Amino acid sequence: MKLHVLYFASLREARGAASDVVELSAPVHVAELLAALRAGPLSEIDEALFTRVLVAVNQTVAGSDQVVAEGDEVALFPPMTGG
């Protein structure tokens, strides 16, 4: 299955790209997708950027146990700072 993964803010800068198409073998939970991204396209990203990533699936905030299926759009937002 293919997923469109969007990166925002410092994750986009660190990745050097706004998005990736990720191919996985079956529907997965958000936590499994994050693990696959850490092992693949985001393996070089500082762990501090990735520890509290907010995930949205099809423009709705998702928990780590939500299932992500073929064609879903997944957006990753790093923790926000500032005032």
> Tens digit of pLDDT for each residue in 34-64?
999 988 888 888 877 777 899 999 999 999 9
> For residue 83, is pLDDT > 70?
no
CATH of domain 2-77: 3.10.20.30
The pTM of the full predicted model, rounded to 2 decimals, is 0.89
What pLDDT was estimated at residue 81?
67
Domain range list for the chain: 2-77
Q: What is the pLDDT of residue 82?
A: 61
Nearest to 50 by CA among 7, 83, 18: 7
Rounded to whole angstroms, the Cα distance separating 77 from 11 reads 7
